[in-house]
Amino acid sequence: MNLATFTLLALVLGNPAPAARYRISVGPVESDLAATVLAADLPDPGEARSAAVLLDGKEVPAQLERSQKGARVWFQGGDLKKGERREWMLELRPVPRTGEPRMSLEKGAEGRIQVKAAGKPFTALIPDPGAQKPYLYPVLLDGLHMTRRWPSEEAPDEDHDHPHQRSFWFTHGDVNKVDFWSVGPKAGKTVQKEVRSAAGGEVFASIATTGEWIAPGGKKLLEDEREYRFYDLGAAGRFIDFTVALKPADEPVVFGDTKEGTFGIRLAESMKERRGGLIVNSRGQEGMDEAWGKPAEWVDYTGKVEGRTVGVAIFDDPSSFRHPTTWHVRDYGLFAANPFGLHDFTKGKAEGSYRLDLGQTVRFRYRVFLHPGSTEEARVAAAYRAYANPPEVKVEPQG
């Protein structure tokens, strides 16, 4: 913020109080962590309107999030080595940030919400009635399409199979015997009803929605609440955090045991295992033959896009339903977390259906890591540890 801008805000807001300062620290950390996004909790943020976090005098992306309980400051902590202790200086400022936030949102036609990182396209949330579900498309990393373009648009050298597999989505193939995974007149529809909130920020942009799962004939089976958070990590890649909570509408529902589900991504054609891509999970299993149907904390699927090695990892949050989830990950580019399809995954040794009664809620939480390089180069295991068990952030007021 330059002097002229600060002076103008001071005239508008009155003479603002000086910034409150805190020392924040983590560590010593118990293991290597990568691509950390950390949070400092403040019980009394006063009149703060923005936050700045500095490491060795240099500002890192930081974002103030207020709530009834106080405030939380999110910031990018970078990589941390086992045994390392690190300190930052936090300033709570009495004036808001000016200009376009680093992570921004832009409303488009037909209810689309475009997500941008430093002014460049990241993805868009598309509530497409024709697709019978909302989805994210395109999903970009450094301008590269990380998910299949078809059927949203035509692209060279792409297979036209499984038209229901649109980029990035959440549905299931058996809810009270209704198929929400497929498309067509006999399939159910997941309808986005309302955008509850949408906001940009220096660390993440967020979109929260409500939706309904409608059977053929119009009967509502489920209500859902979704939250998407979008992060840009610079050279390390990008995150998409996805949370969805489901509850029955008017009567109990049963999620059937089928492999056709649930949180799905259809990867870029050039990444798929059939074209040289590699699937690896947190248990050390590699390839579809070893990883399909197996439980794992995370799975990473790497391959080439426009000649560059890139990857998409999905992290299963420890609080997510049936963690660690099982995976419907295939050699043709389908990449899905599915905690229900145990009959298929175990060849009949287990049963995965789940009854959700009225008044109950089931929650699913995932982080998607779009990264350059191989699994090892991106330090996917260390990034998962930072997500699943982030270090405690200590806060000390400074005079």
Distance (Å, whole) CA 263 – CA 271 = 19
Q: Residue 345, SS3? A: helix
Residue 149 CB neighbours (<10 A): 17
Nearest alpha carbon to residue 166 among 38, 359, 333, 342: 333
pLDDT tens-place values along the chain, 399 residues long: 443 443 344 444 445 556 799 999 999 999 999 999 999 998 788 889 999 999 999 999 999 998 777 899 999 999 999 999 999 999 999 999 989 999 999 999 999 999 999 999 999 999 998 899 999 999 999 999 999 999 989 988 888 888 989 999 999 999 999 999 999 999 999 999 999 999 999 999 999 999 999 999 999 999 999 999 999 999 999 999 999 999 999 999 999 999 999 999 999 999 999 999 999 999 999 999 999 999 999 999 999 999 999 999 999 999 999 999 999 999 999 999 999 999 999 999 999 999 999 999 999 999 999 999 999 999 999 999 999 999 999 999 997
Q: Say which residue the tokens 């045991």 belong to.
A: 257
**Cis peptide before 28, with omega less than 30 degrees from 0?**
yes
Architecture of domain 103-388 in this structure: Distorted Sandwich (2.70)
Nearest alpha carbon to residue 265 among 376, 162, 154, 378: 162
Residue 39 CB neighbours (<10 A): 14
Give domain limits for the chain.
3-9+20-98, 103-388
pTM: 0.94
Residue 317 corresponds to which tokens in the numbers above? 């949050």
Asked if 263 and 364 touch (Cβ cutoff 8 Å), the reply is yes
Distance (Å, whole) CA 378 – CA 375 = 5
Residue 25 corresponds to which tokens in the numbers above? 């620290």
Please give the pLDDT value at position 5: 43
Q: 3-9+20-98, what's its fold? A: Immunoglobulin-like (2.60.40)
Q: How many residues does the chain have?
A: 399
